[in-house]
């Protein structure tokens, strides 16, 4: 319950902070601020993940597309 209250208060406060920052910024030099830039509860996107390449696609195809008989043939051969 305390975390929910903190999230609620930071939601309002981060909107005010973004408003103040945007009023005082130079639009030619910086981008517009968003409330998420000031909210500590807002999850940052890491951009991490698994890169898509031929080896990964081949592995996924082997696991999900190939029939069991094809997999057995490859394992023995």
Total domains in the fold of the chain: 1
Mean pLDDT (the chain, rounded) = 84
Write the pLDDT tens digit of every residue in 36-61: 999 988 876 666 677 889 988 888 88
Write the pLDDT tens digit of every residue in 9-46: 999 999 999 999 999 999 899 999 999 999 988 876 66
Tell me the residue range of the domain where 22 lies.
2-44+52-76
> What is the SS3 assignment for 14-54?
HHHHHHHHHHHCCCCCCCCCCHHHCCCCCCCCCCCCCCCCH
% of the chain with per-residue pLDDT over 90: 40
pLDDT of residue 26: 92
């Amino acid at each position: 319950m305390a975390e929910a209250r903190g999230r609620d208060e930071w939601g309002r406060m981060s909107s005010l902070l973004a408003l103040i920052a945007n009023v005082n910024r130079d639009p030619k030099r910086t981008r517009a601020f968003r409330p998420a830039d000031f909210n500590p509860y807002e999850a940052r996107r890491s951009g991490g993940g698994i890169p898509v390449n031929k080896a990964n696609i081949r592995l996924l195809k082997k696991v999900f597309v190939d029939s069991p008989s094809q997999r057995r043939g490859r394992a023995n051969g």
